[in-house]
Amino acid sequence: MKKKNINSIHFLLGLIVPLLMLSSGCKKDFLEKPPTDAIVDANFYQTDEQVLAASSLLYSKVWFDYNDKASYNLGDFRAGTAFSAYNDRGNVLFNTTDITPENGAAWRSFFIVVGQSNLAINNINKYASPSVSPEIKKIAIAEARFMRAVAYRYLTMNWGDVPIIENNLELLNDTTIHKNTAKSVWRFITREMRAVANDLPATAIQTGRITKWSAEGMLARFYLSRAGVEAVGGARNQVFLDSAKYFAQRVITNSGRSLLKNYSDLFLYPYDNNAESLFELQWVALSGDPGYGVGNSTPSYLNYSADISVEGWGGDKGATWWMLSQYEGITAFGDTMLKGRTLDQRLKATYMLPGASYPEITQKLNGVNQKLVFPYTAGDVNFASIKKYVVGKSEDLKFIVEAQRYPNNTYMLRLAEMYLIYAEATLGNNASTADATALDYFNKVHTRAGLPTRTDPLTLDDILKERFIEFAMEGQGWYDLVSLHYYNPDKAYSILNSQDRGIYNIAPDVFPNPTSWTFKKTVWATTERKIVANSGNFLLPIPAQEKSQAPNLAKPAVDYP
């Protein structure tokens, strides 16, 4: 198999990145034996297995730079569902610039997904042997189109107008490409995803691969946002709201997916490709250099300490004050104190409070291994550290884990979102809804968390709050705010500008196994608690390096056909 060595990662130069050979001993069966590079000759695509191996690369490495740190920096730090007290402050304080590292990493990763998807489509069409079954060829191309559409959804929601590229090979020497309008990007990705839904199988051909229901779930998500993109006078487009509701219902009814009984089980390893999942990034834990880029690096940045894993760089990361205040039972006392407990099981599964126990994770304390009890550090600063995607040590996972090479997958779409999309699409442009099905679907998510059944009508605030809590630390909060911003920017600014993102102290009533906590704002930390979000800083600026290499990105956008 020939390899073409092209080092550039700039999307206008083809987005060609070296992709590593994965061991045939990996736990992800469909990730076995992929090509060693994105550019291959006609000798490769000779069998169904080789074609599927080529498309399997689109489930992992191409997303690495996004998943690494950009996912939570943009999706949670900018949204206010989490913060870093001392690092990544530009994103926490809503001052993301054109040289902020995560801004460039996300842009680069999404266009790498686009480029590699385009190359996969081109290569399969050009090189696939007649011996490759038409069905496998159709599925592999549909997988590539799916990934490209998902990447463009992230691109337009973060940067607005972006260039649509369907064939990178035609653009190898072209630096004159223009941006396309956000509306035309949404038209393009909706059209693509509808085609993909017709070409993907109803049942995954291999564990972890996307299906027709993955695509229809994305269509529900796309149409809900697009209803705001096409809003008139602040009223969302009813046709698109109806479409979001239609596709959400189809996935709920026909996919065979079901909510896990316990919310915490969503993040107890091995949770990969479970009954609730509709699309996951597929990571494998390989040792040494071959393992970098195909393993999940995010836990390294979220682990609060090396006491609970190979490495821990997340000691200053945790829930914001605002996020903690969203949980039922955590009550405000004036402006500087929160107090109480919550029945909401999602708090413990998402953030760690002092005294909470996690028997699935081993902690090394004073040189002795024990089951984790999240420590209580007396003083005026400590944090509700991150729990989601934190899965423990090698002894917890039952095999050797190296730094930045974790095996646990990243959720990209799960069934719970379909229930909440249905509820929001039913609410539509009304102030509230008492629709029985919408309430039932909302309650499936709400009561799964241990909370009582809601019987009163639902409002948009109710649904947004449920989404913030349900998907905190899954990189979703920011995109919920962008969807809101499309049709009601003032409400999006109001939510962001009301948030307190400053440091605090948590004290348990007893330790360990507390029954309640007291949260107090750190008295000397009175600055950098609030942000100012407005029309001038809401969307991300195009990274400086991209603008310098493609000056046409500064020109007005044009519609895409």
For the chain, give every domain's residue range.
298-403+502-521
Q: Give me 373's structure tokens.
A: 């009890």
Residue 150: partners with Cβ closer than 8 Å, 6 or more residues away: 113, 218, 279, 412
Spell out where 31-130 has E strands.
83-84
> What are 12-32's pLDDT values in tens digits?
222 233 333 233 333 443 333
Residue 48, helix vs strand vs coil: helix
> By the 8 A CB rule, do 392 and 363 touch?
no
Q: Token pair of 396, please? A: 């917890």
Q: Are 113 and 177 in contact (CB under 8 A)?
A: no
Q: Which two tokens stand for residue 50?
A: 């080789």
Residue with tokens 């489509």: 121
- Identify the three-state secondary structure at position 392: coil
Q: Are 508 and 376 in contact (CB under 8 A)?
A: yes
Contact 543, 553 (CB under 8 A): no
In whole angstroms, give the CA distance from residue 341 to residue 329: 5
d(CA 338, CA 551) in angstroms, rounded, equals 50
| 322/197 Cα distance (integer angstroms) | 38
**Packing angle between helix 134-159 and helix 477-487, nearest 10 degrees?**
70
- Tokens 């953030």 correspond to what residue? 351
Contact assessment for residue 112 and residue 62, using Cβ atoms and an 8 Å cutoff: yes
Using CA atoms, how far residue 482 sits from 98, 112, 158, 323, in Å, is 19, 23, 8, 18
Q: Which residues of the chain have pLDDT under 70?
A: 1-42, 172-175
Q: Apex CA 178: angle with CA 176 and CA 181, to 5°?
A: 175
Residue 171: count other Cβ atoms within 10 Å of its Cβ. Answer: 20
Residue carrying the six token digits 């009508």: 457
CA 227 to chain centre: 21
Q: Which residues contact 211 (CB under 8 A, 6 or more apart)?
A: 200, 201, 202, 203, 204, 255, 278
CA distance 42 to 46: 8
- pLDDT at residue 411 in the model: 98
How far, in Å, CA of 124 to CA of 403, rounded?
35
In the sheet that 330-333 helps form, which strands lie side by side, from edge to edge?
330-333, 337-340, 517-521, 504-508
Q: Give the number of other CB atoms < 10 A from CB of residue 194.
A: 16
Instruction: Provide the β-strand partners of residue 350.
Output: none
Q: Are 447 and 453 in contact (CB under 8 A)?
A: yes
Cβ neighbors of 536 (< 8 A, separation 6 or more) are none
Contact criterion met (CB below 8 Å) for 449 and 311: no
- What is the amino acid identity at position 524? W
